[in-house]
Amino acid sequence: MGCLLSTPDAAVGARRRPRNIGEIVVFVPGLRIPRPLDFAQPLGDGISKSLVERLSALRTHRGGSTLTDLQQALEDYLPVLLGLVENVDMRFLFFVAAQSLLITFPFLICGLEQIFLFVMFSVSEETTMPDSRYEVLSVLHLMAVLLLSQANLLLLPNKSTGGYQNTSLEAGYLDFAVQKVLPQLPLELRNDLPLDLTEGVLKSLCLQALGQGVEIQLGMAIDSIKATLAVKRRLACEMVKYWHQAHEYIKDLPLANGWGEKHKLFVQWKHIEAKAAAYYLHGLILEEGNTSAGITAAALQAAEEYLKESKKACEAFHTALPSSRNPPLWGASKYLTEKIPNDTPSKKINSDSQRHELIKQVAPALPDFALSLKPDEYQLPSMDPSWNQV
């Protein structure tokens, strides 16, 4: 119908794809950047000139050079953008925009939220949609991605200033986008969304944020003399569930471009690494109890095999384009890399079970704990009061 343009080859054009994206603790699957949009022509004299200028300026305002500045710019833009969504008035559309739009775009007779062509581009594609709710979805996605980028910088060991713990905030943005914004989009537009804004990818990214939040908690528990082995095991088992669900949402999606495929590899790597942690801590608890030596050995041997597999998955992720580097190990990853090889050699299971897949098959089931970390509850800000004067 002409409602969407997605031209990956043409859109990328001369834009340079990054070949190396530095050290990665938290993977961020690319940014979606808005193209400039002139709000004046479709709105005409229907609203004040100052509001039109403010919309245009806020949409492309970069706010400064830091991620915090960019985040603030988006937070400033969102309340004004919501005026396009909430002020849906057919009379306004007919009397303000009919002459210029209905001849060329008859399919836009839907309300004020659909009289603009919102354009976002990434390194892999450029997408245009005539719906301001798509713009809200893109803004929420970008706010979450910026927080994930900030988390990555703060979690690098050589740059950390006390760590980063609020990973449930970006999860809140993404959860709200899935629960409240996506269902409002017309079905034909929802089916044509770029893959990084589809429900599966958004849910996977949300679970990734929660999974890495639990990973931080596990690292803190490992460093605490007050945290019991049972607490550490519970966190590790929860981590496995978060990463498993994240993997389930994206494993079958056709994420063929470099960023999408790299995202899949990251989730796969972290899922395997979480299993290594869970089986190791579970094995230690079994060893303390009255469990048979064979079952204990099976759990610890599974931990060792998953650790080996996670190292291969880590290498596959970092070598995939755009390439990245693994920072010095820290937290739970460093602890497991040091402890698992030292604690398993004397607990090998029988030689007939040494093959990798068989070792995983004979490992005892992990305890099933309810997930404790949830996305922060997010609500859209109030519409900018300047719209009340329209």
Domain boundaries, the chain: 5-389
More confident residue, 189 or 355: 189
Q: Which amino acid is at 37?
A: L
Give the pLDDT confidence score for residue 343 in this predicted structure: 80
Give the pLDDT confidence score for residue 358 in this predicted structure: 72
Report in angstroms the alpha-carbon separations of 13 from 16, 126, 196.
8, 10, 20
List, for residues 243-279, the tens digit of each pLDDT value.
Answer: 999 999 998 888 766 688 899 999 999 999 999 999 9
Give the pLDDT confidence score for residue 324 in this predicted structure: 93
Segment 86-108 shows an average pLDDT of: 38
More confident residue, 84 or 272: 272
User: Quick one: tokens of 223?
Assistant: 């460093």
Segment 72-94 shows an average pLDDT of: 71
**pLDDT beyond 90 at 97:** no
Q: Cα-flanking dihedrals φ and ψ of residue 121, to 5°?
A: -130, 150
Segment 225-234 shows an average pLDDT of: 96
Q: How far apart are CA 131 and CA 137, in angstroms?
A: 10
**pLDDT beyond 50 at 86:** yes
Segment 220-247 shows an average pLDDT of: 96
User: Quick one: tokens of 316?
Assistant: 């596959």
Q: How far apart are CA 360 and CA 352, in angstroms?
A: 13
**CATH hierarchy code of domain 5-389:** 1.25.40.280
Give the pLDDT confidence score for residue 140 in this predicted structure: 92
DSSP letter assigned to residue 183: G
Segment 215-219 shows an average pLDDT of: 93
HEC readout, 10-72: HHHCCCCCCCEEEECCCCCCCCCEECCCCCHHHHCCCCCHHHHHHHHHHHHCCCCCCHHHHHH
Q: Whole-model pTM?
A: 0.83
Give the pLDDT confidence score for residue 17 in this predicted structure: 63
Q: How far apart are CA 268 and CA 272, in angstroms?
A: 6
Least confident of 153-167, 345-359, 364-378: 345-359
Give the pLDDT confidence score for residue 203 in this predicted structure: 95
- Beta partners for residue 33, in sequence order: 121
HEC readout, 273-338: HHHHHHHHHHHHHHHHCCCCHHHHHHHHHHHHHHHHHHHHHHHHHHHCCCEEECCCCCHHHHHHHH
List, for residues 145-176, the tens digit of each pLDDT value.
Answer: 999 998 898 888 765 444 555 667 889 999 99
Q: How far apart are CA 107 and CA 119, in angstroms?
A: 18
